[in-house]
Amino acid sequence: MRRQPPAPKRYTRPKPKPAAAKVPAGLSPAVRRTIVAGVKAGVPWTVVASRAGVSSHLIKRWRARGQELATHFAEHGSLPKDVTPDDMDCMRFFDELEVALSTATETFVKTIGKAGKKNWVAAAWWLERMAPQFFRLKKPDEPEKKKATSLNDAPRVVVHLPDNGRLHVKIS
């Protein structure tokens, strides 16, 4: 008596991944508020993105799209015809981010200014970043740049060509 092969197993659908692993496609007001509040407080982009539950790359895309639309509006006085509600959210997001960034910058500059009255290091830090052409911290191995006043002062290039053990051959 031959044995019957076992019956094939029924196909079952794989379980969907949890919703937390999904990156939302839309810029909801709650996500926008979270990101703007973090930026206003001076929190780094990656931390703000993580707190809002999106990637920092997605924030950059939303911001770039909003900037593109704001620039178009500033240049032409109107928005393109193919603008979607999501695009309008990106434009609002860009405007809110610009206000948040300027507020954060103003807050930190004031804080550094107050600290600079008691501690010169804070004032030096601010000068290094805001006027680097004058106050940039030079690296120890960085040579001082001098302006050439004549051809004799100009930098020269010296090339060393080793003979590599080759015999000198006279060509006559």
Segment 47-94, tens digit of pLDDT: 999 999 999 999 999 999 999 999 999 999 888 888 888 888 889 999
70, 78 Cβ separation under 8 angstroms: no
State how far the Cα of 26 lies from the Cα of 33, in Å rounded to an integer.
13
Segment 114-158, tens digit of pLDDT: 887 888 787 777 778 777 777 777 776 666 665 556 666 666 665
For the segment 18-46, the average pLDDT, to the nearest whole number, is 76
Look up the pTM and report it. Answer: 0.57
Place 104 in a pLDDT band, splitting at 50, 70 and 90: confident
For residue 104, give the nearest of 50, 52, 35, 37 by alpha carbon.
37
Three-state SS sequence of 85-136: HHHHHHHHHHHHHHHHHHHHHHHHHHHHHHHHHHCHHHHHHHHHHHCHHHHC
Q: In the prediction, which pLDDT does 15 show?
A: 66
92, 116 Cβ separation under 8 angstroms: no
Cα dist from 164 to 157, 159, 167, 168, whole Å: 21, 15, 9, 11
Place 19 in a pLDDT band, splitting at 50, 70 and 90: very low
Place 113 in a pLDDT band, splitting at 50, 70 and 90: confident
